[in-house]
Chains A and B, each alone.
Chain A
Amino acid sequence: DAKTTQPNSMESNEEEPVHLPCNHSTISGTDYIHWYRQLPSQGPEYVIHGLTSNVNNRMASLAIAEDRKSSTLILHRATLRDAAVYYCPPARAPPSFGNEKLTFGTGTRLTIIP
Chain B
Amino acid sequence: KAGVTQTPRYLIKTRGQQVTLSCSPISGHRSVSWYQQTPGQGLQFLFEYFSETQRNKGNFPGRFSGRQFSNSRSEMNVSTLELGDSALYLCASSPSGTTHLYTFGSGTRLTVV
Name the distance in Å between B43's Cβ and chain A's nearest Cβ. 4
Enumerate chain A residues within 8 angstroms of B45, measured Cβ to Cβ.
101-103
Q: How big is chain A's contact interface, by range?
A: 20 to 34
Contact B56 A100 (CB under 8 A): yes
Q: Does B102 contact A (CB under 8 A)?
A: yes
Contact B97 A41 (CB under 8 A): no
Contact A43 B90 (CB under 8 A): yes
Q: Please, how many residues of chain B have a CB less than 8 angstroms from a CB on the other chain?
A: 26
- Contact check: which of A32, A46, A101, A103 meets B33 at CB < 8 Å? A101
**Which residues on A are within 8 Å of B, measured CB to CB?**
32, 34, 36, 41-46, 49, 87, 89, 91-92, 94, 97-107
**Which residues on B are within 8 Å of A, measured CB to CB?**
4, 33, 35, 42-45, 48, 50, 55-56, 58, 90, 92, 96-107
Ranked nearest first, the 3 interchain pairs of A and B with the lowest CB-CB distance are A43-B104, A104-B43, A91-B99
